[in-house]
Amino acid sequence: MQRRSGTDRQRILIVEDEAVTSVMIEDLLQKLGCEVVGPAGSLREALTLADAGALDGAVLDVNLEGVPVYSLADRLALREIPFVFLTGYAQAVPPAHADRPVLEKPFHQGELARILTREFSLPPPA
């Protein structure tokens, strides 16, 4: 996979409003050799980070303090940036994104690692 960011390490945006979950995702991505962008805890912050530089992927919490993240998902899809949805509400994603992976919270780190390595073409964790 060619890096969209042009760097040796994939740049992955984390969009998550729960601090503990955000730290866990960040730690995992760093173990997988990624450069973490964010984390963003609000849609506004996430949109700003997504527009600020090249990204190779994103992990998106579906609901940020009551605000759905779908406008960011639409923007990433237009740029052909892969992303994974996380949800604590078992809510369905819009039909436009029905083909995207959705991981329900709470999840195990191993589950997330498998999805991220597959979707972002990362080497498996050591």
Q: What pLDDT score was predicted for residue 7? A: 59
Q: Where are the domains of the chain?
A: 11-119
Distance (Å, whole) CA 38 – CA 91: 24
**C-beta of residue 31 within 8 angstroms of C-beta of residue 125:** yes
Classified by CATH at the fold level, domain 11-119 comes out as Rossmann fold (3.40.50)
Distance (Å, whole) CA 118 – CA 102: 13
Per-residue pLDDT at 2 exceeds 70: no
**C-beta of residue 19 within 8 angstroms of C-beta of residue 40:** no
**C-beta of residue 9 within 8 angstroms of C-beta of residue 29:** no
**C-beta of residue 82 within 8 angstroms of C-beta of residue 65:** no
The bridge status of strand 63-64 relative to strand 35-40 is: unpaired
| Cβ partners under 8 Å of residue 124, min gap 6 | 113, 117
Convert the pLDDT of each residue in 35-47 to its tens digit. Answer: 999 999 999 999 9
Convert the pLDDT of each residue in 18-67 to its tens digit. Answer: 999 999 999 999 999 999 999 999 999 999 999 998 999 999 999 998 89
